[in-house]
Amino acid sequence: MTDETPLVEPGTFDFDGDDNLVLPKAVTDAKVRRKKLSPSTMNALVDTSACPARFAADKVLPRKSDPFGVAEIGTAGHEVLEYLFALPGAERTPEAAREILLSQADKAMAPLAAQGGSDDVLHALREKWLGEVETAYKGIFDIEDVTEPDVFGRERWIGRKVKINGVPISGVIDRIDNDDETLLPIDYKTGKVKAPGKYGDPHGDQLRLYALAIEQEFGTLPTQAKVYYTQHAKMLSVDLSEKKLTDVEDKVARSWEDLSWSCDESTFETVESPLCGWCPLVNICPTAKAGARTAKIEAPTPVQLGATIPVGPPSLSEGEKKPTKEAKAVTKKPKWREDKPWVETTGEGDSERINPNAYAATAVFGLASRALADITGYNKSVAGEPVDPFPINRTTVSGLARTYAAIISDVQEELSSLVDWSAGLNTRLRSALFTATELHVPPFGGTLDDWDAWVERVKKNVVLLMEIGESIYDEPDEDDPWIDLAVDSDGEDTDG
């Protein structure tokens, strides 16, 4: 018989009209909001199958301690490896690992011993636990020669001062080895192998985040990183290319932005996926029910979850399913359709969309790319200085791109009485704008007054460059124009 004792206060888990999970604000602030971003939180929020509601529920619900739980077995395996690599190389043997494991057994079995039971039963459980933990870590001896690594750190916590894209980071690196003149981060995984695929690369992204943190903390960017799947004796090398690292920086910003918004609103999106069956909210989540998802685990009952909403047929019409996260991304807009460059849009009505081959598309897409490049360039220029990097996320990149667009539009309307992204004048103005921003760098981190002043200054520079260009056309044969550049023998310019 199921124990129907509530795990949370009634009404803790509620759902709004869009089937989003809504929590009491006090619960969100106490249990869900994070002071720093960890790799697991990042992956739980923005990976392909990520469900923010599942993330929130896991933080709110009490954890049931079970020595044979997946997390507990994995933790025990990690502890064996932590202490194994504290030994001198020659002493890192399977026998030594077994001794470390045996020293942990009594502590692990204490909760079961407290429940009572015969010595024979407890002995059998102890042997079962030892076998499962040993299986979780013993593949390390097939992955590498454990006597060789020059270990720099074990269970190394990062996060004292590490910020990536302006986001505070925390995490624990299982092992860091000295690797020639740099450092090599290694993460142990006791579960199944997860190679990069359609659901992203969460394990690789975790190591890329650690690599960026190591660069900040120790001043050297690792050239390689590895994931050891110790139960399966497999090793995965992680791609640390500039593009992959930049992608993770963007992922950090997006996940922190999403988490901050969700916590501020105390509202967490529900996302249907094959993983719904393993979610603790599967028995009350309207999105899971709309997708006909059922529990694959012994999930809490509606009573245990303190449900105050009807838990019955889905609210959607028969056969209708709430779009998955992937479907939402696809159905928000019709697919791109191309046409001639002078045709600005394709499709009609709800299907109308900018023609990506149009002159106008070249203009506006170029502003977005330039905005990202300018923020990235600024952050690189202040690296190592006592200045926080400017966050890179959808909001900031869009904000700067639209600021550039506003400058272009204002000046174009002033000069020609219209705004036309396909016009030649627009092209000339964009060129002048990019030149002006080389001289007057955007005031990243500045106040609204700083930005207002900067916009006006750049507008004047753009107009000035246009006037100079037109003057060259109007008076192409001016004698000796370099006179304006020369200085006299006293170092004064020749205009006096």
Q: What is the CATH number of the domain that holds 102?
A: 3.90.320
- Between the CA of residue 435 and those of 49, 430, 441, 461, 465, what are the distances in Å? 42, 9, 10, 9, 9
Tell me: do 89 and 205 sit in the same domain: yes
Tell me: do 152 and 69 sit in the same domain: yes
Beta carbons of 231 and 136 less than 8 angstroms apart: yes
Q: Is 481 part of a structural domain of the chain?
A: no
Q: Is 493 part of a structural domain of the chain?
A: no
Tell me: do 287 and 256 sit in the same domain: no
Q: Among the three residues 246, 264, 282, which one is the final residue of a domain in this structure? A: 264
| pLDDT values of the chain reduced to their tens digit, one per residue, 496 residues | 456 788 898 889 999 888 999 999 999 999 999 999 999 999 888 876 789 999 999 999 998 778 888 889 999 999 999 999 999 999 999 999 999 999 988 888 887 777 777 788 888 999 999 999 999 999 999 999 999 999 999 999 987 788 998 899 999 999 999 988 899 999 999 998 888 876 678 999 999 999 999 998 888 999 999 999 999 999 999 999 999 999 999 999 989 999 999 999 999 999 888 889 999 999 999 999 988 999 988 889 999 998 754 444 444 444 444 454 444 444 445 667 787 877 888 877 666 888 888 888 899 999 999 999 999 888 888 887 777 788 888 888 888 999 999 999 999 988 888 888 888 899 999 999 999 998 899 999 888 888 999 999 999 999 999 999 988 888 877 778 888 788 766 655 544 4
Tell me: do 59 and 176 sit in the same domain: yes
Q: Is 434 part of a structural domain of the chain?
A: yes
Containing structural domain, residue 372: 359-474
Number of C-beta neighbours around residue 488 at 10 A: 9
| pLDDT tens, residue by residue, 383-418 | 877 777 888 888 888 889 999 999 999 999 888 888
Tell me: do 10 and 94 sit in the same domain: no
| pLDDT tens, residue by residue, 105-130 | 888 888 777 777 778 888 899 999 99
Q: Is 340 part of a structural domain of the chain?
A: no
Residue 95 tokens read as: 């026998």
pLDDT of 319 = 47
Query: Cα separation of 294 and 288, whole Å?
Result: 7
pLDDT of 102 = 94
Q: Is 90 part of a structural domain of the chain?
A: yes
Tell me: do 51 and 165 sit in the same domain: yes
pLDDT of 223 = 94
Residue 258 tokens read as: 């999403």
Number of domains in the chain: 3
Q: Is 351 part of a structural domain of the chain?
A: no
Residues 6+ apart with CB under 8 A from 208: 225, 238, 239, 240, 244, 245, 248
Tell me: do 372 and 465 sit in the same domain: yes
Residue 209 tokens read as: 């985040």
Q: Is 117 part of a structural domain of the chain?
A: yes
pLDDT of 297 = 85
Tell me: do 160 and 276 sit in the same domain: no
pLDDT of 199 = 65
Tell me: do 279 and 391 sit in the same domain: no
Q: Is 136 part of a structural domain of the chain?
A: yes
| pLDDT tens, residue by residue, 243-297 | 999 999 999 998 999 999 999 999 999 988 888 999 999 999 999 998 899 998 8
Tell me: do 176 and 86 sit in the same domain: yes
Tell me: do 256 and 276 sit in the same domain: no
pTM, whole model, 2 decimals?
A: 0.62
Report phi then psi at 323, rounded to 5. -60, 140
Tell me: do 89 and 219 sit in the same domain: yes
